[in-house]
Amino acid sequence: MNPALSASERAVNLEDEAFAERLPLETFAFLRRHAPVYWYEWSHRRGFWCITRYHDIVAVLRDHEPFSSASGANLEDWDRAQALCRRSMLETDPPRHTELRKLVSAAFSPRAVSSYESWIRPLVQQLIEETFARGGTFDALHAFAAPLPIRVIARLLGVPEADTPWLVEVSDRLMGNTDPDLSPISPYDPSSERWHLYPFRHEAALELFEYGHWLAEQRRSDPRDDLVTRLVFARLGDRPLTTAEFDNMFLLLVVAGNETTRQALAHALVAFAAFPDEAARLQQHPALLPTAVEEVLRWATPVLHFRRTARQDTELHGQRIAAGDRVVVWFISGNRDETVFPEPDRFLVDRSPNDHLTFGRTGIHFCLGTHLAKMELRIALEALLPYLTAYELAESPPRIRSNFTNGYKRLMVTVRPVQ
Ligand code: HEM
């Protein structure tokens, strides 16, 4: 398939286990240089094209006509029944995508998000007081990074705060479905077949759906100013949402709204520990917070890839992509593209410009939660400023075994007292 490639091709391993210890950044550097459009024979199912250069990724994301999302945005291929049951806006093309996105987009606009600052700040302050301000050794992922985004999205959805630890646990099982520590059922195990009509081929999706139904019933009889109420009474043309449309929207918002931002915060803590000079620089120059947030996002790249399917034959860098082929855009690679980001493997709090691909950058699926995630990160980093040079990692944080989510399972830190 790639005749130009030599023996080093054999080193290209993009299976989940290749991401378990560390990111395979040298593999992506190799692909960017020698095979920017690379056919990967996946060990589990049908292979896929890997797009690894920044500008090629942007080109694929920009145009949904040649590159559709409707047969899945992850590596699993869907049949018709799966598409009907599992499709969220993420896996939908226009015009339905436009209608679905419109139902919830107002809550994530820059103006709406700026009005949340007044309650997000005290939330962050409370979490700081319960963790970094007390000092000692603790799991910053579960005590600090996880509660913030889940409480924020819960409040927007209308989920009671008391249920947020359970939502974190359910999301962990879903996003960690390829890691045996987080989920006993692998999506590649034949036993997952009984869940193939559920997102992530996982029973946890059913638990989340049932919870969503319970909440929807509450809101039907007692409407409030929240997203679940909006979805319960929403109309697509002349009809209400189907159960599958409601379920998949609810699950998408819960999972996308908490796992990603949580891991971005965790990566920030790991990065500042690894680059103490940058931590000190940010402490001394808090005006760098906006560029630091962007650099944290580039560095973190919590979503490693998304997938499209070619609708028609296309050619890219001399490779013929046939209609029906799966095309995977590797954000993690584009964010380290040396032709766009000078010294891409350095974490620099004043990096500018920094047009990273972490949220997808362009196209109709550009992350709905961009403004919200950035605000949460800005407020959290600002509150963390006094502690940025006062903690160290108590162990090398264990990574989630996944080629989709770039995250940690635990993040033990030791914080020294701060004056
Ligand atoms: C650092 C945090 C985040 C990262 C890295 C991230 C990443 C992404 C990426 C890469 C996409 C584009 C997918 C594609 O092009 O196929 C996306 C879409 C999406 N994100 Fe985020 N996201 C984050 C935070 C959030 C938050 C806080 C929410 C809030 C609910 C959210 C909701 C969504 C939704 C609903 C979509 C689908 C949009 C569509 O299909 O039109 N995300 N996200």
> Tell me: the pLDDT tens digits for 223-258?
999 999 999 999 999 999 999 999 999 999 999 999
337, 344 Cβ separation under 8 angstroms: yes
Distance of CA 15 to the CA centre of its chain: 18
> In this structure, are residues 379 and 121 in contact, taking their beta carbons and an 8 Å threshold?
yes
Instruction: State which ligand 1 atom lies nearest to the alpha carbon of 357.
Output: 10
Please enumerate, as own/partner, the contacts of 36-40 that have beta carbons within 8 Å and a separation of 24 or more: 36/317, 37/316, 37/317, 37/318, 37/319, 37/321, 38/2, 38/12, 39/1, 39/2, 39/319, 40/12, 40/14, 40/328
Asked if 195 and 203 count as a contact pair (C-beta separation under 8 A), the reply is: yes
CA dihedral (233, 235, 240, 242) positive or negative: negative
What number is the average pLDDT over the span 35-46? 92
Q: What is the pLDDT of residues 299-318, one digit of tens each?
A: 999 999 999 999 999 999 99
Which pLDDT belongs to residue 2?
A: 54
* pLDDT surpassing 50 at residue 7: no
pLDDT of residue 5: 57
Minimum CA distance residue for ligand 1 atom 17? 367
| Whole-number average pLDDT of the chain | 95
Q: Could you tell me if the CB of 369 is within 6 A of ligand 1? A: yes
The predicted model scores a pTM of 0.96
Q: What is the pLDDT of residues 325-382, one digit of tens each?
A: 999 999 999 999 999 999 999 999 999 999 999 999 999 999 999 999 999 999 999 9
Which residues pair with residue 275 across a beta bridge?
none
Q: Give the CA angle between residues 377, 383, 388 to the nearest 5°.
A: 90
State the Cα–Cα distance between residues 15 and 17, nearest whole angstrom: 6
Q: Is 253 in the pocket of ligand 1 (CB under 6 A)?
A: yes
- 375 Cβ below 6 A of ligand 1: no
d(CA 41, CA 13): 10
The CB of 154 under 6 Å from ligand 1? The reply is no
**Residue 136: helix, strand or coil by DSSP?**
strand
Token pair belonging to 47: 């292979």
d(CA 356, CA 339): 13
- Ligand 1 pocket test, candidate residues 298, 368, 381, most atoms within 8 A of CB: 368
CA distance 26 to 82: 35
Which residues have a Cβ under 8 Å from the Cβ of 235 and sit 6 or more positions away? none
- Asked whether the predicted pLDDT for residue 38 surpasses 80, the reply is yes
Domain ranges of the chain: 7-415
Answer whether residue 45 shows pLDDT above 90. no
Considering the domain 7-415 in this protein, what is its CATH number? 1.10.630.10
Q: How confident is the model at residue 171 (pLDDT cuts 50, 70, 90)?
A: very high
* pLDDT at residue 11 in the model: 83
pLDDT greater than 50 at residue 73: yes
Distance 372 CA to ligand 1 centre (A): 10
What residue's CA is closest to ligand 1, atom 18?
Answer: 367
Instruction: Compute, in angstroms, the gap from residue 341 CA to the centroid of ligand 1.
Output: 22
